[in-house]
Structure 1
């Protein structure tokens, strides 16, 4: 498959890119940070540096990916961040807007910019929301942004099914970004390795009967709404 991956950072984004490249997929990376340069060199793949919140810049990157890869079968938006545990009374309005935009507008932008190509391939789009244990241990802006991804997933899947385009999202719990040892067993306290998320992405890429779903990968911590940390 030809896959465009946006929001490449040293954690989840990199893990996804490495996993899909190792499976033999053709990938194109996109991020505003410098980490994408090093990762693209390591994986021997093409990349673009742009702010995914800027639609025009993203559209240029998507067009380049389509031409370089010779088509586009899937787009994955890992963009997010702005996670913190600031209480409402101390949370700044600008912080709220920044977190909302970085988590929500990026998902809309990537689907809008790639829409014609996904129509052509009857492709798929995958976004990132968050599981309840993350929402409830976060801040208003982060929760609003991830909540927007949840409902956009439902709306976009409904709107785009007429073109054969599938839209789904992953809602992870707390993911280990440092590759520390962790059993990964349900209910275990602490952060989880990215393996479960990678498995969910692989399923969504290849199962043509799944659309409009937000797949939770939270290790069971959503059951009692504990943080897992």
Structure 2
């Protein structure tokens, strides 16, 4: 038994800022994806999962956990994130599972369809779609919202999820699952993250809508709402004290590590969550989502 207040780092000193999209290999304070701690129980034996943003952060933690639960994994990521994707593939293969790497931009509608087709062609089927990739934008006041960044954020965070679901569902059988990544920002909507928060609210609503639509097919759809988590997305928009003290304002007093999110994604993808659909599962360090 470990104390959740001190079982992971409570500060991230001297972390350098990064340009978008942010790379795990460039982080000074390395995240924990469960490499040395996650133990599988065969909950996803011989299933196939497509994970967007699977190269780093929460996506990498989910890929490692799914592999250790017995799944083969396809990873979607931006071409400039190749070094991170290679590391994730190595962890999946170390678990004895197949891993295919699918670089490209999910803002491209044709690429979304190609991701599904490649997964099915190379791994034989598709049982789990994890819509995890996201673009995070910040703003200073209303006038600070950049129109092009807003378009890109909705394309990556919302439109791609719909396109991927549209492409994936014809390949899915009863018992399949879709797991979306929303955020605590869907509810708290920090004033300097208006666009990002709005996309995350849309994902929460999309999850309910897809759940209602796909339940008659036996396909479950849920979402996970992370709080502040130590991933490469953080050094893009934050710096200085804000970055070093990330998560200290949560009830548990620290940011989460990606590996602490993975069990939620396993639950929602596996038969352990067989009566869960349309749910939003908060993993927020105690931050309320009312």
Q: Where on the TM-score scale, by shorter chain, does this alignment land: which range? A: 0.7 to 0.9
Q: Matched residue pairs, number?
A: 220
The TM-score, its normalising length taken from structure 2, stands at 0.69
Pairing partner for 1:115 from 153, 169, 176: 169
Please give the residue correspondences for 1:139-154 in structure 2 after superposition, counting only pairs within 5 Å: 139-154=193-208
The one-character-per-residue Cα deviations of 1:15-68 (angstroms, maximum 9, x if unpaired) are 111121122211111112323244324533112112112222221221121122
Q: 2:251 aligns with which of 166, 187, 195?
A: 187
1:131 corresponds to: 184
Of residues 129, 138, 145 in structure 2, which corresponds to 1:75? Answer: 129
CA contact (8 A) 1:200 1:215 kept: yes
**Alpha carbons of 1:137 and 1:25: their partners in 2 closer, same or farther (altered >3 Å)?**
farther
Aligned to 1:40: 89
Residue from 212, 216, 223 that aligns with 1:158: 212
The residue that corresponds to 1:13 in the other structure is: 59
**Comparing both chains, which one has the higher relative contact order based on Cα–Cα distances under 8 Å and sequence gaps of 6 or more?**
2
Structure 1: runs of 5 or more not aligned:
none
Greater gyration radius:
2
Deviation at 1:9, TM superposition (A): 3.8
**TM-score normalised per structure 1:** 0.85
For 1:43 and 1:218, the matched residues in 2 are separated by 26
Q: Runs of 4 or more off by more than 6 Å in structure 1?
A: none
Q: CA deviation at 1:111?
A: 0.6
Q: Secondary structure at the match of 2:229?
A: coil
Cα separation, partners in 2 of 1:167 and 1:8, compared to 1, 3 Å: same
Q: Distance in 1 between matches of 2:117 and 2:88?
A: 21
Contact 1:134–1:173 (CA under 8 A) maintained in structure 2: no
**Where does structure 2 lack aligned partners over 5 or more consecutive residues?**
1-46, 94-98, 233-243
Between the aligned partners of 1:138 and 1:114, the Cα distance in structure 2 is 34
Residue matched to 2:288: 222
